[in-house]
Structure formats: C-alpha cells, structure tokens
Structure 1
Amino acid sequence: MSLTDKAIAQIRQLIASGALPPGSKLPPEQELASQLGLSRNLAREAVKALAVARVLEVRRGDGTYVTSLQASLLLEGLGGAVELLQGDPGAVLDLMEVRRLLEPAATALAVARLSSEGLAEVKRHLDAMREASGDVERLNAHDAAFHRAIVSVTGNESLIALLEGISGRTLRARIWRGLVDTRAAGRTLAEHEGIYAALAARDAALAHAAALLHVANTEQWLREHLRSAETPGGDTSAAGPVGESRS
C-alpha cells in the first residue's frame, strides 16, 4: 500500500467512525495533515482522490466537506469503470451475467411496490418503444428508460445505482444488436410487453420470469455474435469494438 493509499484509508476511517459525518467540514489542510501525522502533500492527494470518488466535495473558497454518502452518489463512478470495459468481449459478457442475476430480482421486487403512477411511467416508455420501432437509437433509449423506471420503483438506491451503472452502459451494445440483426427490434418489443403485462398483473413470479427471459436472450445473442466475429471470415462490418455502433 502506497503512502497516499494509507492517507486515504485514514480519512475514510474518520468518516466511517463518525468523526466526520456526512455533510461535515474537514479541518483545514494543515490541521488535517497534523492530526493524521501526514505531510500536507499526502493529505492534499488523499483529499483529491476521495473527491474523485465522490466521498468528499471541495468547495472553492469554502473548504472540503463530506458528501451525503448516498449510494447513488458513491456508486456513480461504476458506470465510468464499466465504460472502460466496453472493448473487452469477456468483460461485457460478465456484465450481462451480473445484469441477469440482478434485474429479474429487481423486477419482481418492483411488483410489491408498484403504484399506478409507476406502472403508467413504465407503459409510457413501452408505448414510445412501439412508436420508435423504425428508429433503433430512439427505441433503445426508451428500452433503457423502461428498465430504469421499473428498478426505480423498488426505492433501493444501491440496486438502482448498480443496475444503472451496468445496464445504462450496455445501451450501445443493444444499439449494435439492432443494427446487425433486423429481427431484434420486434423480439425486444415483445419481451418488454411481456414484462409490462406481468407488472400490470401484479405477478412477481411472472415478472421475474419475463425479465430473466429478456436479459438471457440478449446475453445469448451477444455470446453467439461474439463467437461468429471470432470465426475467420465472420461478419463484423456492422460494428467496431463490442458495444460501439458505427452509425
């Protein structure tokens, strides 16, 4: 562990112990360094790193504060990390596997917490998907919003942030799918209608099954396409790296 890592750990320990609760202001840099037995440079580097991680917020002319430490804020960086994995086929498949584990469970959980307004929001995006059937990018934008609306119903901020980081960043892969497979839009729409029907019926088991079918179909398609692309002479003309559209 580097000296900077140790400095970061010391500040995190102050936060975890409650000595620096959410919203509190850190001591001035020199005082903080002295308190932790660090050089000012180490204290400054540690603060910068924790600010990037959204643990701390540096307010110019005012000082440095501990953020709200809400899951949606702390996990915000996940999407950026996932973005860096988009060129690695194995990593993309790993992400799809994680999505397959989490999203059906979140969809089933949403059933018990779904209000009429929440269901109407899901239907709004489903209707928009029907209308956008000829526009792949618009279709996929509402595809992502459809799932986001469902997961938001759970009220579980950690789950929402995790799935947004994973599913939101696989949007380009779904666009790519639509570009190279002309049947994908119709299948995707039918799968979403199945999920909505299960939600409207307030059937958690059916909602789980419908969401699992949808994610598993996408994952299976991606696996098969990647195998085809690895085969000499395989057709990769529709896309560049995994998840990157050339449109």
Structure 2
Amino acid sequence: MVRASLVTTVADAVLDDIVAGVVPIGSELPSEAALAAQHDVSRVTMREALKRLQGLGVLDVRRGKRGVVAPTSAWTDLEPILRVTAFGADPGLTELQLIEVREMIESGAAALAAARCSAKDLAELERMLRRMRTAHEESDVGAFVEADIAFHDVILRATGNVFVGVVLAPLSRVMREKRAQTSAVDAIQAHAIQQHTRVLAALRSGDAEASRTAMSAHMRQTADDFRAHVLPSLH
C-alpha cells in the first residue's frame, strides 16, 4: 500500500512545478514513468499523486493519454488556487480579491444577522470589541486578530444560516494570516475599531440595510488601508 503522506508530498511537488510555470497551464505532463523517475518514487506512487491532482481539478486526464494541466477556472480546491495566484499575481492582488469575496458574503451576512441577532450575540460582539480596544492599547497584535476574527464569526453564526460559515471556512486559514499582516499596522487597527463600532451599532438597531452598508464600508476601509499601508512594502 502506498503511504498517503508520500502521495501528498509528491502531488505537492508536481503542483509546485505547475505553480512555478515549469509545466504551464494547458500543457501536457511528462509521462508517468518520467515523472516517477524525476521525483524518485515508484510509478504506483506517481499514479496516485496524479489521481489526487485530477481530483482537485488541476489535471485533466483522459484514458490512454497524459494528463493536461487544466485552466485554474476548473480547479476545485482552494489551496492550489491560492498557491498559483500568490505565485504569479501582482503584489497584493490575492489579498484584495479575498477582501472582495469577504465583502460580498459578509455584507449579506450582516443584513441577515440584523434581524436574527440575540441579546447574547450582541453582548458577545460588544465583548469582542472591548478586547480589540484593549489589544490595540497594549499593542498586542495576536490578541487583536483573535478578537477581530471572533467578532466576525459571531455575525456569521447569528445569521442562522449554516451555509454562510461553510462557504467562508476554506478561506479561514489564509484570512487569518492576512489579518495578522494588516493588523500589525497601528492605523489599520484604529480604523478597524471604528468600523466594528459602526457595524455593531447597525446590528443593534435591527436595520438590515444599515448593517449591510456598515459591513461593506468596513470591507472597503480594509481594502483602502491595505493599499495605503501594506501594499507599498510588497513592491
């Protein structure tokens, strides 16, 4: 039996070549035997690794033919997509696209939560906002990020819609990394506290459109802050 960990390692190595452009999108992979020799593994291991990439939509494999690297629009797993966009994209593009996705989803979530937030939810949001203020005053970036993420998680749960969290879950790890990057800037923390305060006020009012608008404004401020304070350092 082929070890799953070895198959994963080999699949990642082949994906690295694809991401780096060694095997460009739309091109045909070398033969299974050639790839096995290149990565110093058996053909059985390589076959399983290629099947894994096929399952992620990265490879288009037809019977009797070599695999072809599929267009990224056909890829079905977030991790390969993040790797290829981060490698070849303009500096900051991945971060800004993630913020766009967050605005699309979280502004709607805020509108739903406005009518469904319980007193307990509102109290938890207030508690997370206090933690953000304290972390800001104490220059504790880690605590600030945790409170920020928890604030948004409360809103997602308050929608009462199980699919909202499921949609965003695959992005959670990378969003946590990006938040740690942006939240290291004092001015960005200050703006975030202001925006979270406005979101909470809108949710307290029970006004769905006001909550949607407040969350959209928060996301736009986040994008503006990224461009102003983080993006220049990436060039």
- Same structural fold, with TM-score higher than 0.5 when normalized by the shorter chain: yes
Contact 1:110 1:154 in 2 (8 A): yes
The one of 160, 165, 171 aligned to 1:160: 165
The one of 195, 217, 220 aligned to 1:216: 220
Structure-to-structure mapping, 1:42-121, within 5 angstroms: 80=79, 84=83, 88=89, 89-121=92-124
Equivalent residue letter for 1:100:
E
Counterpart of 1:132 in 2: which secondary structure? Answer: helix
How far does residue 186 in structure 1 lie from its aligned partner after superposition?
A: 1.4
Matches of 1:143 and 1:190, distance apart in 2: 12
Asked if residue 142 in structure 1 is aligned to residue 129 in structure 2, the reply is no
TM-score normalised by length of structure 2:
0.59
Contact 2:131 2:144 in 1 (8 A): yes
Q: Which has the higher helix share?
A: 2
How far does residue 171 in structure 1 lie from its aligned partner after superposition?
A: 2.0
Q: 1:159 to 1:90 in 2, by over 3 A?
A: same
Matches of 1:80 and 1:227, distance apart in 2: 22
Identical aligned pairs, as a percentage?
29
Equivalent residue letter for 1:214:
H
Asked if residue 203 in structure 1 is aligned to residue 207 in structure 2, the reply is yes
How far does residue 157 in structure 1 lie from its aligned partner after superposition?
A: 1.8
Matches of 2:133 and 2:125, distance apart in 1: 13
How far does residue 192 in structure 1 lie from its aligned partner after superposition?
A: 0.7
Q: Deviations over 1:81-111 (max 9, x none)?
A: 5764556532332221111111111111111
How many residues end up aligned between the 2 structures? 163
Please give the root-mean-square deviation of Cα atoms over the aligned residues, in Å.
3.1
Q: 1:172 matched to which residue of 2?
A: 177
Q: Deviations over 1:171-228 (max 9, x none)?
A: 222221232x321211111111111111111121111111111111111222345652
How far does residue 139 in structure 1 lie from its aligned partner after superposition?
A: 0.5
The one of 213, 228, 246 aligned to 2:232: 228
Q: 1:138 to 1:113 in 2, by over 3 A?
A: same
